[in-house]
């Protein structure tokens, strides 16, 4: 099979090019780091090489050559196209589910053997090529998972999932994956009439605890990430948002073991902004990585579009920079084409444009952060708390009584001050 992308060369950095990076230059140094190391871009396998363009009203629109058969030969042809695309787009990372890269076998053992065979194939291609940002297991597509993965009423499904995650984590470990993701695809419910919510959350907590134990047992040093989402596919997902997941982690004593993979579209579905989720994860010390995309604000489902709103992306990276930037995480494009975008070059253009949007957003965020204007305004707003009597109120030993007495003795009469929101928004607008 000749290359799916014809003879496309790696994209140049060219501010006037048609198919080029106009704003993203991997070598450009911003805040002391190369842009490639700041953004840590990854391409996902599933939306690009597996999804066939179907929607609830119609089937396949894409005709990728490797859709011809669900066998190992086609799985390798798919891998060839995927790595060709990684090369053209010059991304340092990729991500995959087991189900994306190998046909399912007749037994668990056969499925795992196939996964390992593909991992060998990847390993050879990864020698000078992209690294693995994260691996994960698809425990939501096959009908056996329809009532849940670890939260399933059938304990055999729970055991099946243990085998699946073990195999996927082993492969992620072997390929040097920097993170392992758990997105709770079917970990939720459709109706409370048939659901024992308390039991299901207990199962999920036990499962996650054992996944963490297994990670330590095999000496895997990557980060375990949970990806929250409030709904879809189930009506209510247990991993609703960052705050909910934090409570869950605390309950099972896992708050120092697991971090968050936050997706723009999932934040929107939860009724939050992306920057809210990022700031919340930083505040709780559990920020890990991002799935970059954009959600349609009217639709109410997960549209997984490529990002194209620079001011929004800038605010997201601003929060990431405030938290110190990425460590093991990165910017994974969990984004898909619209189903009419049939041409191979659409895949390339979509990512190149998204990388440019992220680069512009990141550079704006970096300037905003380095100039420190917003941080200075924030510090000024809370300056009263630097006074010793203010600090004393938060210290051990302070009592409501003592504080109340002091407020009355000093006849305190606090005067409101402006929150200056529009002035701050104007400042942001100077950067984006």
Rounded CA separation 116/301 (Å): 34
Q: What 3-state DSSP class applies to 96?
A: strand
**DSSP-based three-state secondary structure for 26:** coil
Closest CA to 133 of 330, 292, 291: 330
In the range 129-148, which residues lie near Ni ion by CB under 5 A?
Answer: none
How far CA 364 is from CA of 38, 91, 234, in Å, comes to 13, 21, 37
Among residues 178, 227, 241, 356, the one that binds ligand XLS under rule CB under 6 A: 227
Token pair of 111, please? 């499925």
Whole-number Å distance between alpha carbons of 51 and 185: 16
Residue 136 site contact among Ni ion, ligand XLS, none (CB < 5 to 8 Å, cut-off depends on kind):
ligand XLS
Which residue among 102, 229, 259, 276 contacts ligand XLS (CB under 6 A)? 229
Q: Which is nearer to ligand XLS, 227 or 356 (CB)?
A: 227
Site string for ligand XLS, 321-360 (x = CB under 6 A): -------------x--------------------------
Q: Which does 237 bind (CB under 5 to 8 A by kind): Ni ion, ligand XLS, none?
A: none
Tell me which residue has tokens 């997984």.
304
Which member of 170, 239, 263, 277 binds ligand XLS (CB under 6 A)?
263
- Closest contact distance (angstroms) between CB of 295 and ligand XLS is 10
Q: Is 294 exposed, middle or buried (0-12, 13-18, 19+ CB in 10 A)?
A: buried
**291 or 319: whose CB is closer to ligand XLS?**
291
Residue of the chain from 178, 239, 241, 302 that contacts ligand XLS (CB under 6 A): 302
Does 239 engage in binding with Ni ion (CB under 5 A)?
A: no
Is 97 annotated as catalytic? yes
Q: 3-state DSSP call for residue 95?
A: strand
Q: Which residue is nearest to ligand XLS (CB)?
A: 183
Catalytic residue (one of 23, 47, 98, 100): 100
Q: Which does 241 bind (CB under 5 to 8 A by kind): Ni ion, ligand XLS, none?
A: none
- x/- site string to Ni ion, residues 261 to 290, per CB under 5 A? --x---------------------------
Query: Cβ of residue 135: shortest distance to ligand XLS, in angstroms?
Result: 10
Beta bridge partners of 63: none
- Given a contact cutoff of 8 angstroms between Cβ atoms, the answer to whether 282 and 323 are in contact is yes
Counted residue by residue, the chain has a size of 432
Q: Please report how close the Cβ of residue 302 comes to Ni ion at its closest, in angstroms.
A: 5
Q: How many CB atoms lie within 10 A of CB 26?
A: 18
266 is known as an active-site residue: no
Tell me the CA distances in angstroms from 241 to 152, 271, 327, one per residue in order: 21, 10, 21
Query: How many other C-beta atoms are found inside a 10 Å radius of the C-beta of residue 76?
Result: 17
Q: Alpha-carbon distance 3 to 6, whole Å?
A: 5
When asked if residue 291 is in the footprint of Ni ion (CB under 5 A), the reply is yes
Q: DSSP code of 49?
A: I
Strand partners, 42: 93, 332
Interface mask toward Ni ion for 298-317; x: CB under 5 A: ----x---------------
Map the footprint of ligand XLS across residues 366-425, applying CB under 6 A.
none
Instruction: Check 97, 112, 173, 276 and give the catalytic one.
Output: 97
First CA to last CA distance, the chain: 44
Write down the least CB distance from residue 237 to Ni ion, Å.
11
Residue closer to Ni ion by CB (options 97, 114) is: 97
Q: How far is the CB of 137 from ligand XLS (least distance, A)?
A: 8
The number of residues that bind ligand XLS (CB under 6 A) is 10
Confirm or reject binding of residue 277 to ligand XLS (CB under 6 A): no
- Token digits for 194? 């048939």
**CA dihedral (233, 238, 239, 240) positive or negative:** positive
Is residue 33 classed exposed, middle or buried when 0-12, 13-18 and 19+ CB atoms within 10 A define those classes?
Answer: middle
Q: Which residues bind Ni ion (CB under 5 A)?
A: 263, 291, 302, 334
Residues with catalytic annotation? 97, 100
Q: Which residues bind ligand XLS (CB under 6 A)?
A: 97, 136, 181, 183, 227, 229, 263, 291, 302, 334
């Amino acid at each position: 099979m000749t290359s799916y992308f014809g003879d496309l060369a790696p994209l140049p950095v060219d501010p006037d090019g048609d198919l080029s990076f106009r704003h993203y230059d991997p070598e450009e140094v911003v805040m002391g780091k190369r842009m490639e190391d700041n953004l840590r871009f990854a391409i996902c396998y599933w939306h690009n090489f597996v999804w066939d363009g179907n929607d609830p009203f119609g089937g396949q629109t894409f005709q990728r050559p490797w859709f011809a058969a669900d066998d190992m030969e086609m799985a390798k042809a798919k891998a060839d196209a995927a790595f060709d695309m990684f090369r053209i787009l010059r991304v340092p990372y990729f991500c995959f589910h087991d189900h994306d890269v190998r046909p399912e076998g007749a037994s668990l053992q056969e499925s795992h053997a196939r996964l390992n065979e593909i991992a060998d194939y990847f390993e050879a291609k990864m020698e000078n090529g992209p690294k693995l940002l994260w691996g994960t297991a698809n425990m939501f597509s096959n009908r056996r998972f329809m009532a849940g993965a670890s939260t399933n009423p059938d304990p055999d499904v729970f055991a099946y999932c243990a085998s699946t995650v073990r195999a996927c984590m082993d492969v992620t470990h072997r390929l040097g994956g920097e993170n392992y993701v758990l997105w709770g695809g079917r970990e939720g419910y459709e109706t409370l009439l048939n659901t024992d919510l308390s039991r299901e959350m207990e199962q999920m907590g036990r499962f996650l605890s054992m996944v963490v134990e297994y990670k330590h047992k095999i000496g895997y040093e990557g980060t375990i990430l949970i990806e929250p989402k409030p709904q879809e596919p189930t009506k209510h997902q247990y991993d609703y948002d960052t705050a909910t997941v934090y409570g869950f982690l605390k309950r099972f004593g896992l708050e120092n073991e697991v971090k968050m993979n936050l997706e723009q579209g999932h934040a929107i579905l939860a009724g939050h902004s992306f920057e809210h989720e990022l700031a919340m994860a930083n505040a709780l010390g559990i920020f890990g990585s991002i799935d970059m995309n954009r959600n349609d604000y009217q639709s109410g489902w997960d549209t997984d579009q490529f990002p194209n709103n620079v001011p929004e992306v800038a605010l997201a990276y601003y929060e990431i920079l405030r938290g110190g930037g990425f460590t093991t995480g990165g910017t994974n494009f969990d984004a898909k084409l619209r189903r009419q975008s049939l041409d191979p070059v659409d895949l390339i253009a979509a990512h190149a444009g998204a990388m440019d949007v992220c680069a512009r957003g990141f550079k704006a965020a970096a300037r905003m952060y380095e100039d420190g204007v917003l941080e200075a305004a924030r510090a000024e707003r809370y300056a009263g708390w630097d006074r010793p009597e203010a600090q004393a109120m938060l210290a051990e030993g302070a009592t409501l009584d003592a504080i109340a007495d002091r407020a009355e003795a000093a006849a305190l009469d606090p005067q409101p001050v402006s929150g200056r929101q529009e002035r701050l928004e104007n400042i942001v607008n100077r950067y984006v």
